[in-house]
Structure 1
Amino acid sequence: MYADRMLTQWLQDHKPRATSMKHQPAFYRNLEQAMDLARADHSLFVAKPRWDDSVLDFTSSDFLSFNRTGRIREAFQGELSQYEDFRLSASGSRVQYGNYDYLIQTEKEIAAFHGAETAYIAHSGYMANAGTVAAVTLPGDAIVYDEAVHASTHEGMKVSLAQHRLAFRHNDPDSLREVLGEVKGYPGFAEGRFSILIAIESVYSMDGDICPLEEMLQMVKDLFPLGNAQFIIDEAHSNGVMGPRGSGLVNMLGLEKEIAIRIHVCSKALGSTGGVILCNKTIRDRLISNARFAIYSGAPSFPMVASMRAGYRLLENNEAEEPIQKIQSNVRHFLETITAHPVWDEAVDQGILNIPLAEDYESIEHLTHIVPVLTRPKHELYLFFHLMINNINAYNISFPVVPKGKSRVRLVFHAHNDLDQAETLANAICEWAQEMLVIEDGQTDNVLPSAARRGHDSFTSGSNNWILKLVDFTKSLLHEQSRVRIMAVCFGHQIVGRAYGETAERNPLGWEVSVTAVTLSETGKRVFGCDSLALHQMHRDVVRRYPASVKKLGHSDRCEVQGIYVTNRVHDSAGTSGVRCHDCLRVAGAEARICAR
């Protein structure tokens, strides 16, 4: 099953690696140490196995299903068949040998489709966006950007010549006005000597909301009548799914002549590849003469351009109209189903989940294909696992892709989804929300949802052999390596107890959760330098008795064994504490240490 394969791979990818590389070159070890920080926080980006069509797809960028249905492949093969003697490589950049006729003609056709003066093809939307932002700003200029713009915009800003870079609150015209007013007060902007590039998106990829473009445009015209403030709009998520024949938001609003730069991509709705910059001749000439991707990179190859042309042929033939309507129906049915579910209101009230786009969705004429389900931090992983186990693929997203506290699972709807699949998705999400509510209400001994527990089972492959090996290893250190010092906390405390021959078993008094007051023994008072201790812990298994050869550090009303101690040899604790004692520091500096959590 795909879920088992994916979860197993995901968990393997998140195992720490740096500690096993002490004999490897420091260059690689340093990289693994940096990645281990992300692994520990479950924020490491990893390549996921590709799923087959039996898995419900709510994550891919194949919005119009041109790729899945084979329509783009057929159009591409038809395009290639007309040019049997094409040359595979452009064999140079656009300023050298790579400016071939087929590329130029395709750019003209794309520009005409979007009602633009000119078009310039780049290898990707990322390159188009980053390269344009960097190339069209001059020394002294300003870049004002929505705080939710794509990473490619930030990449372009880093290498741009602009002197000022200021963000405004997401999709907030009042905030934009405030920031532009600040910029206008800088020398040279009111007089038109310096320019302002305003970076926005038509549909925001993480939030699924639409830019209030008309309101912003009028405001900018009023503030800067000389025309030195212009927009660059990323239409990656509107190309193909909005506007006449899928031509995008700007075309839908009839603002083709008002927006200086539009970035379109072909790797999403069109199912092909590449990015397109729509602009006038001045901007295009600036790109050719100053954009690094135009000067220092080979021009797009013939097959790449042919795939883009094939995608636009489908749009020109009105083949996006029916898929767009299917997407609208799927999204609307999903929102109807989930908001009508009995658990919905309570889950939202308790902060288990939230879908901002579900508010007043009935009155929205055009729903976007992107629907984020917001969760508490780290809970996006639980929901991701739950959906995956239910044979549904969606994408979990957390900081730094989105702001802290805004974790989510992003749902992407397609023409190849149907109403039954949308309903299955809504019910699966609510099933997870119900389980989280039960856990929070204390109606179960579980502190993790079932999907997360299954993920742990995938990690251990249904076996406790790794625990037994760790116990045996610790036992060998205790009995055969007299110079080795051992420190252990939480789960490591149970490992040490078992290595001393005691058993770790279920506590008949139940879970020991949160901050536990521990009464210290005389040894514990000396070691920790205080009379009592508050340990942060959450466990259900305990070491039942102190080993005969150790000193007792303390006890609580739920567990007699809270810490095992042997002077200059062993120091462990059933939980974690902020206390730092002299003995702890001495042990930490010893020649070897075990830290098991």
Structure 2
Amino acid sequence: MNSPAFLSDIQSRKTARHHDHRHRALPTSSNPISFADNDYLFLSCHPAVIHAARQALAEYGAGARAARLLAGPCPEHQKLESALASWKGTERALLFASGYLTPLGVIPALVGSGDTILMERNAHACLFDGAKLSDARLRLFSRHDLTTLKKSLDATLALKPKGKILVVVESLHSMDGDIAPLPEIIRLKSEAGAWLLLDEAHAGGIFGEQGAGLASELGLTSSVDLQMGTLGKSLGSSGGFIASRDTIIDHLLNEARTFLFGTALPPSAAASAQAALSIVRSAEGDQLRQKLKQNIRHFVSSYPSPQSGPIHPIHCGSNSSAASASQHLQELGLNVPAIRTPTVPAGTARLRLSLSARHTQDELAKVIHALKNLPLS
């Protein structure tokens, strides 16, 4: 404890966060009406999902005990991976302990110092962290700026003709709520001989037949090299996965460090995700998606939003304005979080409103009224 440089740096960073209105603390209370989470189909509280978790807890215990290559086979992991591969229309799938850990293992296993990653500029932090760990050359493009993507692909081919190129894109953007121009991105990456890692974390369960995602909805599954997904949003559990060809999954099983060296997903989380996936793919899942779409239509018909999915940013500009707006809504019993730097670029702080199939018409009316009367400074 005799190293003042550490404490000095910690304090200076804290002072800077307070100055920029981006200091965070864990909430100490919750509001009855939440527009903050990603439980889009409200399956985290579905009786069948909870029952499956309880059964797995009783049979396998609370944890996975070790990494999968050490602990031995777990039927819940194997059944879920098979179901995910079927859902995604791929040969195999591989589970990771969290959605965040998935690209941290996958990206460095695919590209290295002689390769290039072309990533959308406002991609999720886990994708950036995976890219940094890979030591590959990183170039950014705006997700709707296909001209820049084309130029970057061409320049990379000229500069590093023997290097691999990995394009990384979110299908439904986690903070902006818009949909990527997937057909055009696939055309460009195919022309360049690049691979595409498509993050379907927020689109899974919502878009496509049986909620299989945006690639499925557009009939482009076979053109996506790797589909990344999560168990912690529409599937109401926790964990992450990658779905792809058998050869690729076998490679990742041997090379993805966050799979090799991390304790596996608890069997109860896998069991609950499998129960949720069965619902997502059923007639009940169709009904839940229709309810979510109804809530989205109701919201956008009453409040100006260009987005067609469940994520709706309400732009405030500054960190302080976003924080004040969120606090005002908290006082009205509404949980709508402020999203500030570094989560989003400077000057684009916003409220992030997330719609779910669980929201009632009265809850939607309350938040719409509150947003229309929001004192933005």
- Residue 146 of structure 1: aligned partner: 120
| Structure 1 residue 333: Cα displacement | 1.6
| Structure 1 residue 75: Cα displacement | 4.0
| Structure 1 residue 29: Cα displacement | 5.1
User: Relative to 1, partners in 2 of residues 1:320 and 1:26: Cα closer, same or farther, differing over 3 Å?
Assistant: same
Whether 2:323 is the aligned partner of 1:381: answer yes
1:110 to 60, 84, 95: 84
Gaps of 5+ in 1: 1-22, 340-354, 359-366, 437-448, 450-597
Counterpart contact for 2:48–2:275, Cα < 8 Å: no
Which deviates the most, 326-335 or 139-148?
Answer: 326-335
CA deviation profile, 1:35-80 (whole Å, cap 9, x unmatched): 232123220222113425xx22111121111124545213433x53
Distance in 2 separating the partners of 1:158 and 1:58? 32
Counterpart contact for 2:81–2:93, Cα < 8 Å: yes
Distance in 2 separating the partners of 1:409 and 1:244? 30
* Bigger Cα Rg: 1
2:163 to 174, 190, 194: 194
Q: Which has the higher contact order (CA 8 A, sep 6+)?
A: 2
- Residue 151 of structure 2: aligned partner: 178
Distance in 2 separating the partners of 1:80 and 1:295? 23
Amino acid at match of 1:404: A
Amino acid at match of 2:252: L
Distance in 2 separating the partners of 1:429 and 1:422? 11
- Residue 429 of structure 1: aligned partner: 371
Amino acid at match of 1:176: L
1:326 to 281, 288, 291: 291
- Residue 313 of structure 2: aligned partner: 372
2:227 to 262, 269, 274: 262
| Structure 1 residue 87: Cα displacement | 5.0
Counterpart contact for 1:323–1:415, Cα < 8 Å: yes
Distance in 1 separating the partners of 2:372 and 2:90? 45
User: Relative to 1, partners in 2 of residues 1:317 and 1:332: Cα closer, same or farther, differing over 3 Å?
Assistant: closer
Distance in 2 separating the partners of 1:160 and 1:118? 23
- Residue 236 of structure 2: aligned partner: 271
Counterpart contact for 2:89–2:221, Cα < 8 Å: yes
Aligned length: 376
SS in 2 for 1:277: strand
Distance in 1 separating the partners of 2:323 and 2:262? 39
After the TM superposition, which residues 273-288 of structure 1 pair with which residues of structure 2 at under 5 Å, given as runs?
273-288=238-253
Distance in 1 separating the partners of 2:19 and 2:294? 40
- Residue 218 of structure 1: aligned partner: 187
User: Relative to 1, partners in 2 of residues 1:71 and 1:95: Cα closer, same or farther, differing over 3 Å?
Assistant: closer
Amino acid at match of 1:330: N
Whether 2:364 is the aligned partner of 1:398: answer no
Distance in 2 separating the partners of 1:28 and 1:376? 32
After the TM superposition, which residues 11-90 of structure 1 pair with which residues of structure 2 at under 5 Å, given as runs?
27-28=6-7, 30-51=9-30, 55-77=32-54, 80=56, 85-86=59-60, 88-90=62-64
| Structure 1 residue 329: Cα displacement | 1.7
Distance in 1 separating the partners of 2:188 and 2:314? 32
Amino acid at match of 2:174: S
More helix per residue: 2
Counterpart contact for 1:129–1:234, Cα < 8 Å: no
Distance in 2 separating the partners of 1:49 and 1:322? 35
User: Relative to 1, partners in 2 of residues 1:424 and 1:90: Cα closer, same or farther, differing over 3 Å?
Assistant: closer
Amino acid at match of 1:66: L
Whether 2:274 is the aligned partner of 1:312: answer no
Counterpart contact for 1:99–1:299, Cα < 8 Å: no
Whether 2:108 is the aligned partner of 1:134: answer yes
CA deviation profile, 1:517-539 (whole Å, cap 9, x unmatched): xxxxxxxxxxxxxxxxxxxxxxx
SS in 2 for 1:289: helix
After the TM superposition, which residues 540-551 of structure 1 pair with which residues of structure 2 at under 5 Å, given as runs?
none
CA deviation profile, 1:70-103 (whole Å, cap 9, x unmatched): 45213433x538xx54355433323333443442
User: Relative to 1, partners in 2 of residues 1:101 and 1:338: Cα closer, same or farther, differing over 3 Å?
Assistant: closer
| Structure 1 residue 300: Cα displacement | 2.3
Amino acid at match of 2:369: N
Amino acid at match of 1:103: H
CA deviation profile, 1:449-496 (whole Å, cap 9, x unmatched): 7xxxxxxxxxxxxxxxxxxxxxxxxxxxxxxxxxxxxxxxxxxxxxxx
Distance in 1 separating the partners of 2:372 and 2:93? 46
Gaps of 5+ in 2: none
- Residue 129 of structure 2: aligned partner: 155
User: Relative to 1, partners in 2 of residues 1:69 and 1:285: Cα closer, same or farther, differing over 3 Å?
Assistant: closer
Whether 2:176 is the aligned partner of 1:207: answer yes
User: Relative to 1, partners in 2 of residues 1:272 and 1:187: Cα closer, same or farther, differing over 3 Å?
Assistant: closer
| Structure 1 residue 298: Cα displacement | 2.3
Counterpart contact for 2:143–2:181, Cα < 8 Å: no
User: Relative to 1, partners in 2 of residues 1:166 and 1:27: Cα closer, same or farther, differing over 3 Å?
Assistant: closer
Distance in 2 separating the partners of 1:196 and 1:336? 42
Give the TM-score, by structure 1 length: 0.60
Distance in 2 separating the partners of 1:65 and 1:32? 40
Identity %: 27
SS in 1 for 2:100: helix
- Residue 168 of structure 1: aligned partner: 141
SS in 1 for 2:195: strand
CA deviation profile, 1:239-262 (whole Å, cap 9, x unmatched): 111111211111112222111111
Counterpart contact for 2:97–2:263, Cα < 8 Å: no
Counterpart contact for 1:134–1:291, Cα < 8 Å: yes
Distance in 1 separating the partners of 2:123 and 2:287? 30
1:293 to 258, 268, 271: 258
